[in-house]
Amino acid sequence: MRRIRFVIVGRVQGVAFRAYTQSAAQQFRLVGFVQNRADGAVEGQAEGEERAVAGFVEWLHQGSPWSRVDRVEVEELAVVAAEQAFDVRRGR
């Protein structure tokens, strides 16, 4: 199992990025969350099998059809193993 924190910088708010991220995470069978940040970026956490998380990180570089991903930051975290779904949260 692997858990990451991700931050996506670019044109990623107002372009359905969070909804597409949730859908991609569900396809990879990941749990976690995604949310908007006040600085215009999107951040979240994802947890699942190593290969699934790696595939999700690849997807993050593509983004939603209307987004423009300029930078993807990924940080390794300790596995939580308590979540049941991948949620879209309200931004900060």
- CATH top-level class for 2-73? alpha beta
Identify the three-state secondary structure at position 5. Answer: strand
Identify the three-state secondary structure at position 4. Answer: strand
Catalytically active residues, by annotation: 18, 36
Q: Is the per-residue pLDDT at 12 higher than 90?
A: yes
pLDDT in tens, 22-72: 999 999 999 999 999 999 999 999 999 999 999 999 999 999 899 999 999
Gyration radius (Cα) of the chain, Å? 12
Average pLDDT over residues 1-17: 96
Q: Would you list the domain boundaries of the chain?
A: 2-73
> pTM (2 decimals)?
0.93
